Amino acid sequence: MRGDLGVCKKMARRKIIPYNPKLKQLARKLRNNSTKSEVLLWNNLKGKQILGFDFHRQRPICNYIVDFYCSELLLAIEIDGESHYGNEKRDASRQKEIEKFGVSFIRFDDSEVFYNLDGVVKSIEDWVAKHS
């Protein structure tokens, strides 16, 4: 499927969310160069550890890549680290575009994941229990 912004807008009503295939290589690179916080959280998301739901990391959606994504729940989890500081406007626009597909977002600060991992995992479990 070709993934340009026009295609994304046209398909907003479908359950299958299109993505830009050109982002696959970048997503792979991001997975191979994860931050410490991403690795810590991933170790708690992988293998259906969150109430049996399957999460993926560095997942292309439309013309963007989200840190973690569960397609069954239409849930994206973002860790806002250094690359996000000063880019709040861009992040909000990106999130709004993805939310048009019915995707919900949970955001955590990098330091929150690093210093309060149990609390972050609990927050995710609470969200999943409430919305599944």
Percentage of the chain modeled with pLDDT above 90:
78
Distance (Å, whole) CA 17 – CA 52:
22
Q: Is 27 exposed, middle or buried (0-12, 13-18, 19+ CB in 10 A)?
A: middle
pLDDT of 53 higher than 60 = yes
Q: pTM for the full model?
A: 0.84
pLDDT of 7 higher than 50 = no
Domain count along the chain = 1
Q: Where in the sequence is the domain holding 61, given as residue range(s)?
A: 5-131
CATH number for 109: 3.40.960.10
Give the mean pLDDT of 22-39.
Answer: 95
Q: Structure tokens of 128?
A: 């999943």
